[in-house]
Amino acid sequence: MGAGQMEGDPRWRCDTGSACRTGGLRRRCPGDRRRICPMRVLQVSDGYPPATGGTERVVEALSHGLAARGHRVAVATLGRPDAPDTEVTETGVEIHRIDGVTRWLRRFASDPGHLFHPTFPDPLLVRHLQKLVDDFCPDIVHAHGWILNSCLGLRLSGAAMVTTLHDYGLRCANKTLISFDRLEDPCAGPSLGRCLACTRDHYGTLKGTALALGLRDSWRQLDKVSLFFPISEAVEVAGLAGVRAERVCRIPSFVDDAVFDEARLTPRPSFLPNGPFVAFVGALGDHKGLGLAVAAHQRMRAAVPLVVIGSERADTQKYVGTPTRPVRTLTRIPHPEIMATFAAAAVAVVPSRWQEPLGLVAVEAMAAGTPVVATRVGALPEVVEHGKTGLIVPPNDPSALAAALDEMVGDPRRAESYGACGSVKAHDYCASVVVPKFIAAYRRALDGPQVDQRGRSRTSPTA
């Protein structure tokens, strides 16, 4: 059968890793056409909107970005009582919310609205995923989060499995690389005894032991993954030690290109103070350094307001500041107004205390043309270039943070220069730049070594 016959026969799909509907056979597009043919991509994620969170937003944006470029996209995610089991978006993305045995574990979730797959495979979920794979015939299965552990049990015929590391969850059952929830004490690396003690302290004995042992067991199955996509160098170093370089492709999380217009065109929100101010945006918790930001703000020489925007958590504290240095806290602010807040601010502060895997809030501030002062943790020094797009200060040091903020507030010309450079760099983290990187990586995975049903590469690239 020639290429023209394949295109004319509805039993064949002429896309990368094409599959014959009859008999379950798989064929490849002939010659170089594999590099231009559309693919079928199955995104498999712990969560998906209406679940809120950075990973959920990125998976949604990636799915729509792929569909807009002509690829057929389906999403498999954990079922939710507040969302339909199946739906198709306006861009043609098929969403399948499926349940497994883990649905009975929801009552143990610390946040029932933000569910996670455990670190071990869910046999019922594997069965449902396998049916979806058999029906959809994906070329790429792209896992996000611990649901990878159920994906590792799938039988894939000619498809490639890839996974994005959005955090440190591939090696850390707490996903944070923080020992015993002490933010000032980054983990030195995984070891069974240390991980068991830490996860038991974090989750409780039963849940912590199960998650730590499940994660350790999953490491033995990672040969089934063709490519790993860490979102930053920090995540790559922490999560993929010992994995061959040809199996690693660093691709960052990204923001919508619309953020630039949101910052430029959205009117200045009425809730903002007059004159210069410092902006903090993020989860209102200690891991994001809100308390550190408030302490630094009170130490600043410049008497300017601190505007705080974010989502409240169980550990959120109330800060009001002083009459000369007020702290104004707002929640449920629409995203265009957040971007307008960044654009109006003298400086954005990103004082994270945990090992930030990337820091998209810093990217959004830079997209608005605002200089950023951030702490030297995780990937923040990769995003914010010290002395070019902002300033990097030591973590947990309110005096150093205050001094850096004063530098930006007190030198508008320098702040403007940093902001302009930051706006240029922010384009590296835009959908229009990053989505094509995923497409190229998918094709690379399909062109790479084939993996047998036991997950062993025929050219044996070991993790």
Would you list the domain boundaries of the chain?
Answer: 9-254+432-447, 258-428
From the list 38, 64, 438, 441, the residue with the least C-alpha distance to 258 is 64
Q: Any bridge partners for residue 41, and if so which? A: 73, 140
pLDDT in tens, the chain (463 residues): 333 333 333 333 444 344 433 334 444 554 444 566 899 999 999 999 998 788 999 999 999 999 999 999 999 999 988 899 999 999 999 999 998 876 656 555 555 556 678 999 999 999 999 999 999 999 999 999 999 999 999 999 889 999 999 999 999 999 998 888 888 778 877 888 889 999 999 889 998 999 999 898 888 889 999 999 999 999 999 999 999 999 999 999 999 999 999 999 999 999 999 999 999 999 999 999 999 999 999 999 999 999 999 998 888 899 999 999 999 999 999 999 999 999 999 999 999 999 999 999 999 999 999 999 999 999 999 999 999 999 999 999 999 999 999 999 999 999 999 999 999 999 999 999 999 999 999 999 999 764 544 444 443 333 4
Residue 232 half-sphere exposure, CB side, CA atoms within 13 Å? 23
Residues with Cβ < 8 Å from 375, sequence gap 6 or more?
289, 292, 350, 351, 352, 353, 392, 393, 394, 395, 396, 401
Please report, for residues 7, 187, 201, 236, 431, the alpha-carbon distance to residue 353 in angstroms, rounded to integers and kept in the order given.
55, 13, 19, 19, 27
Residues with Cβ < 8 Å from 416, sequence gap 6 or more?
none
How many angstroms separate the CA atoms of 395 and 96, rounded? 41
pLDDT of residue 203: 87
pLDDT of residue 3: 34
Sign of the C-alpha dihedral computed for residues 457, 159, 14 and 130 taken in this order: positive
CA 245 to chain centre: 21
Burial classification of residue 250, based on how many CB atoms lie within 10 Å of its CB (0-12 exposed, 13-18 middle, 19 or more buried): middle
pLDDT of residue 370: 98
| Eight-state DSSP code of residue 460 | -
How many angstroms separate the CA atoms of 212 and 149, rounded? 13
Q: Which fold has domain 258-428?
A: Rossmann fold (3.40.50)
Q: Do domains 9-254+432-447 and 258-428 have the same CATH topology?
A: yes
pLDDT of residue 190: 80
CA torsion, ordered 406, 410, 416, 418, to nearest 10 deg: -40
How many angstroms separate the CA atoms of 261 and 370, rounded? 14
For 158, the 3-state DSSP assignment is coil
For 452, list phi and psi in degrees, rounded to 5. Answer: -80, 175
pLDDT of residue 1: 34
Alpha helices in 266-357 (DSSP H): 290-299, 335-344
Q: What is the pTM of this model?
A: 0.88
- Residue 68 tokens read as 């807009």
How many angstroms separate the CA atoms of 445 and 159, rounded? 9
CATH for the stretch 9-254+432-447: 3.40.50.2000
pLDDT of residue 105: 60
pLDDT of residue 267: 98
Is the link from the previous residue into 50 a cis peptide, with omega within 30 of 0? Answer: yes
